[in-house]
Each structure stands twice: as C-alpha cells, then as structure tokens.
Structure 1
C-alpha cells in the first residue's frame, strides 16, 4: 500500500500539463497509449492510428519508336525499310549492338514521319532502291560500303573488312545489287511500283483528312 501511494504521488507530481511528452505512433503498427488528461491522475486510453498513404505510381512511358533509336552523338545514320522482315533481322541485331556504342542513328523510311529534308534529300523511292547510310559529315554511302560503315560503328568491322579490296568489292556489290532488286518479291511484297502507288494514295488521304498523324 505504501508503495502504491508513493507511485501515485510521483505520477500526480510529474505528469502535469506543463511537462507532457509528445507521443508519436509508428507507421507500421497500432499502439495503445496511456495519456494523462489532468493533474488528478485520471487517464484514458486512446488508439493512435497512423494511416499509411501510398502515392500512386505512374508508369514511365518510353518512346520506343524514337528515343530508343536516336543516338545524339551518332557517327552514321542508317536508312532502313521497317516493312522488310528480313531486313529487320539485321537492323535489330545492329540496334542491340548499338546499345553499347550509341554510334548509329536509325531512321525508318517506311514511317509516315520520314522526311527527305532531314536525310540529305533522299526521298522514299530512292531510299527503297538500295541501302543508304549517311555519315555524320553528310557523306552518303550505299551498297556494301554502307554495311561496312554500319558494322564498323558497332565494333564488327572485321566482318566486312575484305570488301574494301578488289575484286571482292565489285563482286560483293553485284551480289547485293541482285538482292536489292528482288528483295520485295523475295519477302512476299508487291513490286516497288505498287508500293509507291499505295504510299502515294495513303499520303493523299492523310493530307485530305488530316487524321493519319496524331
């Protein structure tokens, strides 16, 4: 009894409104806290609840069509036909290699946004005839030389090194010329004339309705 009296006296003497402690609850659990409300020693229990709020997470949207292909410090620009399935195998391989080099700027000539003005005046028809690459100084290279420059930019120049020398250079260009001439038929697409006509009609419809580009 004596101990209880002493303890009660200490509580009444110490827990006054002037020296109450600030009590905070944790973010992860609830805690019942004895909180004095008057010098008389009466207490009541309050349930301190800290609600955890979660900010909504906004997914980061990546522009796969542009940002993933553009390299600010590019050494060579590759004009490629995005509608050619066989061509895309090689393009995708170069894109994967380019992640470590950032040396190639890839431009899809089949895109509605393709602009000859931004690519040394090379229009769609010309670019479709054979592969074109544009060096950072504006020089245009074609045929096997274009492949050689592209492969050199991503550390695979040894694969085309032999094409620098005759008669290999002439033979390689001749073989590629045959492929370039018939690649549409080989990949199951209509002749270039039909592709050009379809693109022309599409451009006319887009220009009239202004609904092709968002």
Structure 2
C-alpha cells in the first residue's frame, strides 16, 4: 500500500453514483491524503485485500496504512476525514443515529446500480449492472 495516503477508498467505478461521489472527493483531496482505487481497474487484484470481487461489490471498503480493512459506513467517515470533511458525516457515527445510517447504507449498497440507472446514468455494459461480479475476478 502507498503509505502517503491516510486512507484508500476502494470504490465501484461502474456505479454512476459512486463515481460522482469519488469525483467530488477527488476535487477536495488537496493534500492527496485520500487514495482512490477502482475495484474494476485492470490492475486491481481483490485477493491482495483478502476479498473476492463479489465481497467488495457488496459494500464499500477502505484501507488504512497499517493494513486494516474496513467496510460500510465507517469507510465514508475515514474517506471524508482524509479530505478534511469528516464533520459532514460525523452524525452517522452518533450512537442514536448510527443504526439508521447503517441501515440506509446497506439498502443503498444493494440498490446503487439500479438507482444510478433510475437517475439517468447510462453506464451498464453486458454483465456490469449487477452487484455480483460476472467475470470471476478474485
């Protein structure tokens, strides 16, 4: 892992909504503290992270310099914190609100590709509009 980053976000580059959020985070990544890795990039190998592509597609993951891999809502806090915007997502960590945000994210993760298509994004290719991978990359 490149240790110059405080955190590396592993994102679904085929998800139109995810790409928009990554573009937004990239625009705020002034000090390059956030690394961004598309899990569909040719050079990306999921088994280097101890995961299959299907597992990485099921929900968002991220990696700290010490090798800790996290998933779900904590990834958003770490990514936003790396670009100086942790305060935007801090309420998702509050004990009373965390279960709600965790549930909303779990629903979003399952439906993100369909939601992207619903909002007019035309990025689906044969076999790429499913949360489960079609090409068996592990």
Q: TM-score, normalising length from structure 2?
A: 0.82
Distance 1:109 1:95 in 2: 16
Aligned pairs for 1:47-196 (under 5 A) are 73-98=4-29, 100-118=30-48, 120-188=49-117, 189=124, 190-193=129-132, 196=133
Q: TM-score, normalising length from structure 1?
A: 0.55
* 2:7–2:34 contact (8 Å) kept in structure 1: yes
Distance 1:101 1:93 in 2: 15
Query: Highest Rg: 1 or 2?
Result: 1
C-alpha spacing 1:71/1:140, structure 2 compared with 1 (3 Å): closer
Relative contact order, higher structure (CA 8 A, sep 6+): 2
* 1:163–1:172 contact (8 Å) kept in structure 2: yes
Distance 1:187 1:85 in 2: 5
Equivalent residue number for residue 62 of structure 1: none
* 1:83–1:110 contact (8 Å) kept in structure 2: yes
Structure 2 unpaired stretches of 5+ = 118-123
Shift of 1:103: 0.8
Distance 1:104 1:178 in 2: 25
Structure 1 unpaired stretches of 5+ = 1-69, 204-214
Distance 2:131 2:26 in 1: 26
* 1:143–1:176 contact (8 Å) kept in structure 2: yes
Shift of 1:185: 2.0
C-alpha spacing 1:103/1:71, structure 2 compared with 1 (3 Å): farther
Distance 2:14 2:46 in 1: 18
